[in-house]
Structure 1
Amino acid sequence: MARKFSELREKMTPRSREHADRMTTEMIEAMPLDELRQARGLSQKMLADVLHVQQPSIAKLEKRTDMYLSTLRSHIEAMGGQLDVIARFPEGSVRITNFTDLASR
């Protein structure tokens, strides 16, 4: 018999709830492009229509591990987002601004 998630969560210890919340946050903060698209409620076909490409192009792009920043920026913007390039160092993070001009081209 199916049970409501809220009922199961109520039975969890506070420590278990904290752990689950932390894991959820980590999963939301980092995901591959295909999962991001799905989380935004978009199909490959919908995204292809916005980008004026064929659906197989979206499938291929989502499997790539290497692409131009301009391609990634277009993909993210078609989903309603904004791409920032951030360099992370032990001393802190720096937003790289060289690529902001790409959006205006």
Structure 2
Amino acid sequence: MAWDVGIMAGKKFSVLREKMTPEAQARGQEKFEQLRSEMDLAELRRARLLSQESLAQLLQVSQGSVAKMEKRTDMYISTVRRFIEAMGGELIVTARFPDHAIHITQFADMGKTKD
């Protein structure tokens, strides 16, 4: 469906949502949840309100290194884990099968020292 930008300009989304059918509202909410739960590393960094420079400082690398990491499609799990933890998150690796999902635990403590 094409949206007429002139119609939407200046209107609150809550007003537009009230005019939608319940089915359209449900589809919109489903799409919102999908988009919110699927981000690449650059989108995630921006959503966490971090610049490449500030994340680079947390990771103790250059801003250029962060830019390169965000573009890579193949990374060590330890690198992804450091990236996520620097943003305040926790990396959880899960394998999904048709009948169930399994949390892979061997990566949970990777890189952490035991006292």
Q: Which has the higher helix share?
A: 1
- Hey, what's the Cα distance between the residues in 1 that align with 2:92 and 2:108? 8
Which ranges of structure 2 fall in alignment gaps of 5 or more residues?
1-8
Which ranges of structure 1 fall in alignment gaps of 5 or more residues?
none
Q: Over residues 14-56 of structure 1, what are the superposed CA-to-partner deviations in whole Å (9 max), with x where a residue is unaligned?
A: 1111000000001111111111111111111111111111111
Give 1:40's aligned residue: 48
Q: Which amino acid aligns with 2:68?
A: K
Give 2:73's aligned residue: 65
The normalised TM-score by structure 1 is 0.94
Identity level (%)? 51
The normalised TM-score by structure 2 is 0.86
Structural RMSD (CA): 1.1
> What pairs with 1:1-105 in structure 2 (closer than 5 Å)?
1-105=9-113
Q: Computing the radius of gyration over CA atoms, which structure comes out larger, 1 or 2?
A: 2
- Hey, what's the Cα distance between the residues in 2 that align with 1:7 and 1:91? 41
Alignment length, in residue pairs?
A: 105
